[in-house]
Structure 1
Amino acid sequence: METKSADLAVLGGGPGGYVAAIRAAKLGIKTIVIEKENLGGTCLNWGCIPTKAFYHVAERIEEMKKSQIFGVETGSLSFNFAKAMERKDRIVAAQRQGLAFHFKKNNIELVRGAGRFSSSESLDVEAENSQTIKVNAKNIIISTGAYAASVPPFILDGSQIIDNIGILSLSEVPESLLIVGGGVIGCEFANIFGTFGSKVTIIEILPRILSTEDAEVSNVITKVFEKKGIRVLTGTAAEEVNKSGGRLSCRIKGGEVIEADKILVSVGRKPLSSGIGLDSAGVETDDKGFIKVDLHLRTNIPNIYAVGDVIGGLQLAHVASDEGKIAAENIAGKEKTMDYRVIPWAVFTSPEIGTVGLNEEQAKARGYRVCFGIFPFSNSGKAYITGETEGFVKIVTDRDTGEILGAQMVGPRCSDLVHEVAVAMKGEMVIDSLAETVHSHPTLSEAVMEAAEDCFGLATHFSR
């Protein structure tokens, strides 16, 4: 049996694992990464990157459809799904090559295969050639990620009833698509394939889609979806699924039957923590299989850390990456902790959603005397210029201290705009600072400034 040794072994090469490895290597730690598939994990290969590649194709289609209002005559519009798929694959391949370059540049060794703990300081890797490689390491970071969950009566078959991996591998746009679950993944794919030409229906068991977002944000997306012809059914669930003649039929609560060519199941994700020998290392998990960690990302075994989707919480690529950095810094002796108070995230629907911190309801539940400011994009000169006037920016503050507690926004480029508020929160700025910062005109970022001004009732272009 071949044996390799390092200061750090990282089990899993997704956004938590590869970022941890690069940070550790830059800190002078000899690092080995164990990965059985392609580097980049779900995010690069079957999630963030390919999905957003499709999203930007959908954005171009929407722009072309309304180009006449700008005086641009395009004639008949056609869409080549195969070329869009090829472009998506090229983007993913280029990003993989980039990661390989960074590994080589930082002298990170990649061991390909499925890793399993044999002790708290060693892993056995079943390599591609059926050879077993033993990796010994003083410290280990677990970043094995998560996989798409399924719920009865939906059984994933990889062809008709599919998950996020399956829908990114289709050979053609389905004529009709039923999406089970109105969370982030479901709504992003509804937006994409609705624009691509599919007849889309979303069924969601909760009272509204995007239930983790502010209710006002959720309402904007629901109305936009309905305008686009995307059917949104909330407070309902599937009771039976049948296959006949290459088509699917789904009977939902109340008796209605919905027919579809494909069904996308997007009802959450489960941790990839079984089958990696956690018992041999003594690592503890909760009752759902998520690995338990403290704010240093340490498990109950002092030399073993865990990051990313496998520990639960906010299952976002950039959260996993930050956790990876913190874990690597701690292995280097820096004793850092995660700050989950300021985690921005985005939902790539059209219009986009940007969120950070607490919403109004959450802030009130924590006992704050809440003050909020709001600014609609319909009052923004730049939004009128671009023809994107749906949505708003809302900033939530502590009335007593001026502390910025969070922001919720839905509208053009909100996936980027939200970071202005995130930086202000991280820097512990008060709302006055945002309100008094001069913003260039005309820009979408003025909406952030005016929302901050509205906290004092002083917005120039908006009056409640």
Structure 2
Amino acid sequence: MTSYDVIVIGSGPGGYVCAIRCAQLGLKTACVEGRETLGGTCLNVGCIPSKALLHASHQLHESQHNFEKMGLKGAPPKVDWKQMQAYKDDVIGQNTKGIEFLFKKNKIDWIKGWASIPEPGLVKVGEDTHKAKNIIIATGSEPSTLPGVEIDEKVIVSSTGALSLPKMPKKLVVIGAGVIGLELGSVYARLGAEVTVLEYLDQVTPGIDTEIARSFRSLLKKQGLEIITGAAVQSAEALKTKAKVTYKLRKDDSEHQVDADVVLVATGRKPYTQGLGLDALGVEMTKRGQIATDAHYKTNIAGLYAIGDAIEGPMLAHKAEDEGMAVAEILAGQAGHVNYDVIPGVIYTHPEVAAVGQTEDQLKEAGRAYKVGKFSFMGNGRAKANFAADGFVKILADAETDRILGAHIIGPAAGDLIHEICVAMEFGAAAEDLARTCHAHPTYSEAVREAALACGDGPIHS
């Protein structure tokens, strides 16, 4: 029986980052993974492959709509779906092999197979049992569905199936206007599919800033996505030659049907903990089926910890990574910590949408006095030159202290721009601090500075 200081179960962003940090801190570490490759959902069937398809389809969109304006003339490229899939698979391979290299570099044992925890301190994989002072569950999540909607990964697919369709659909119905639904809906709309998005709530990407959501919906509509909100899906049936989705509009209870070649179910995700033996161990769970942990990621079982999508909090790869590093540092006797008030969220459509901190709705509900600084990308020289002037930056600051409370961006490279605001918030910066920081010209980042200026005496270019 091999003994370790730490065994991490799962090699997604939370698990592999946790294992690497444990090894860096001098702990003898192993990581259990049942897939053929490391990286979990994110690298294999999630974040990375979806970004590859978003990038490829955006290049097609640019060639169709903007190349000629720049004097780049010629027939727009044709889509070779098989080659695009090969490009996506190559991107996956490069990333997963990179993690394998990092495991070898840091002397982490990859235990191949699916894990169970027969008793505290033991991890069973296949016929072998391994001993560990500490076990960290980082098993991630899996797609969830709705009553009356059965995923077959052929016609009615999850995000996993949507990334590897055998052929391009002419009609795609997306159930759920969250991050996954809108990203993959954008991919197929750019590639020529007729895309209809059905959302139960009254706005897209529920939970984000209301003003951003309205602008986002309008821009997606211009790109050809039909978005129906207030739609309660009753069923989705895979027929011989097509699929049929039945939904009711909440406003009047009227029933409607829409046909599609493929239905993408993007109604969220749920923790994946099956096969671990948590019930038999007596591990405490939350009402939503997550593993209950304390502020230091401990479960109610001695030596057993959990991080990432398996526990409470936003299901984001970078949240899992931060928790992985924090728990590793705690086990090494350090003060691991995650600031949950400064975790950015990004939607990788075009334009991108990014947010950190509180929304206006949350501040109003809390009764907090705040001020708003906004700046449109229409006033940004770089954005106009790049045909990327849709959207704006919004910064929310405390009315009295000017401390930054949140930021919301819809526009070019929003997912990168948000991070200077994250750093500012980590240091408790005021909007004026951001406004007085020199930003290179011409860059998209100047829009962030202008929004910060708008919290004070006003922006320059508006």
TM surpasses 0.5: yes
Question: Structure 1 residue 299: deviation in Å?
Answer: 1.6
CA distance in 2, matches of 1:188, 1:212: 17
CA distance in 1, matches of 2:29, 2:315: 25
Alignment of 1:217 onto 2:212? yes
Question: Structure 1 residue 95: deviation in Å?
Answer: 0.9
Q: What letter corresponds to residue 177 of structure 1 in structure 2?
A: L
CA distance in 2, matches of 1:108, 1:240: 46
Alignment of 1:4-403 (within 5 A): 4-37=2-35, 38-65=37-64, 66-126=66-126, 132-253=127-248, 254-403=254-403
Question: Structure 1 residue 216: deviation in Å?
Answer: 1.4
Give the SS at the match of 1:151.
coil
CA distance in 1, matches of 2:267, 2:3: 40
Give the SS at the match of 1:365.
helix
Indicate if the aligned counterparts of 1:52 and 1:348 stay in contact, CA closer than 8 A.
yes
Indicate if the aligned counterparts of 1:145 and 1:271 stay in contact, CA closer than 8 A.
yes
CA distance in 1, matches of 2:442, 2:99: 38
* Identity among equivalent pairs (%): 38
CA distance in 1, matches of 2:74, 2:419: 35
CA offsets, 1:343-370, max 9 Å, x none? Answer: 1121011100111111111122223211
Give the SS at the match of 2:255.
coil
Question: Structure 1 residue 461: deviation in Å?
Answer: 1.1
For this pair of structures, how many residues does the alignment match? 455
CA offsets, 1:366-393, max 9 Å, x none? Answer: 2321111000111111111111111000
Of 31-40 and 299-308, the range deviating more from structure 2: 299-308
Indicate if the aligned counterparts of 2:63 and 2:76 stay in contact, CA closer than 8 A.
no
CA distance in 2, matches of 1:408, 1:140: 38
Indicate if the aligned counterparts of 1:120 and 1:280 stay in contact, CA closer than 8 A.
no
Indicate if the aligned counterparts of 1:296 and 1:338 stay in contact, CA closer than 8 A.
no
Q: What letter corresponds to residue 51 of structure 2 in structure 1?
A: K
Indicate if the aligned counterparts of 1:394 and 1:408 stay in contact, CA closer than 8 A.
yes
Judged with a 3 Å threshold, the aligned counterparts in structure 2 of structure 1 residues 341 and 371 are, in CA distance, closer, same or farther, namely same
Indicate if the aligned counterparts of 2:150 and 2:236 stay in contact, CA closer than 8 A.
no
Give the SS at the match of 2:432.
helix
Aligned equivalent of 2:410: 410
Of 164-173 and 417-426, the range deviating more from structure 2: 164-173
CA distance in 1, matches of 2:244, 2:138: 38
Give the SS at the match of 1:17.
helix
Indicate if the aligned counterparts of 1:4 and 1:133 stay in contact, CA closer than 8 A.
no
CA offsets, 1:396-416, max 9 Å, x none? Answer: 110111111110000001010
Question: Structure 1 residue 135: deviation in Å?
Answer: 1.1
Q: What letter corresponds to residue 458 of structure 2 in structure 1?
A: L
Aligned equivalent of 1:451: 451
CA offsets, 1:232-254, max 9 Å, x none? Answer: 00001222333333201222212
CA distance in 2, matches of 1:304, 1:241: 40
CA distance in 2, matches of 1:344, 1:153: 34
Give the SS at the match of 2:77.
coil
Q: What letter corresponds to residue 451 of structure 1 in structure 2?
A: A
CA distance in 2, matches of 1:113, 1:265: 28
CA distance in 2, matches of 1:409, 1:199: 27
CA distance in 1, matches of 2:74, 2:210: 38
- What is the TM-score with the length of structure 2 in the denominator? 0.96
CA distance in 2, matches of 1:83, 1:309: 32
Indicate if the aligned counterparts of 1:178 and 1:200 stay in contact, CA closer than 8 A.
yes
CA distance in 2, matches of 1:276, 1:339: 29
Question: Structure 1 residue 420: deviation in Å?
Answer: 0.8
- For the aligned residues, what is the CA RMSD? 1.2
Aligned equivalent of 1:129: none
Q: What letter corresponds to residue 29 of structure 1 in structure 2?
A: L
Question: Structure 1 residue 288: deviation in Å?
Answer: 2.1
Aligned equivalent of 1:438: 438
CA distance in 2, matches of 1:338, 1:164: 28
CA distance in 2, matches of 1:367, 1:25: 46
CA offsets, 1:249-269, max 9 Å, x none? Answer: 222212322110000001011
Indicate if the aligned counterparts of 2:235 and 2:247 stay in contact, CA closer than 8 A.
yes
Question: Structure 1 residue 272: deviation in Å?
Answer: 1.2
Question: Structure 1 residue 312: deviation in Å?
Answer: 3.0
Q: What letter corresponds to residue 45 of structure 1 in structure 2?
A: N
5+ unaligned residues in a row in structure 2: which ranges? 249-253
Question: Structure 1 residue 280: deviation in Å?
Answer: 4.1
Give the SS at the match of 1:389.
coil
CA distance in 2, matches of 1:175, 1:371: 46
CA distance in 2, matches of 1:206, 1:105: 47
Of 195-204 and 150-159, the range deviating more from structure 2: 150-159
Of 85-94 and 279-288, the range deviating more from structure 2: 279-288
CA distance in 2, matches of 1:109, 1:402: 49
CA offsets, 1:100-124, max 9 Å, x none? Answer: 1110111100111111111111111
5+ unaligned residues in a row in structure 1: which ranges? 127-131
Q: What letter corresponds to residue 14 of structure 2 in structure 1?
A: G
CA distance in 2, matches of 1:208, 1:448: 25
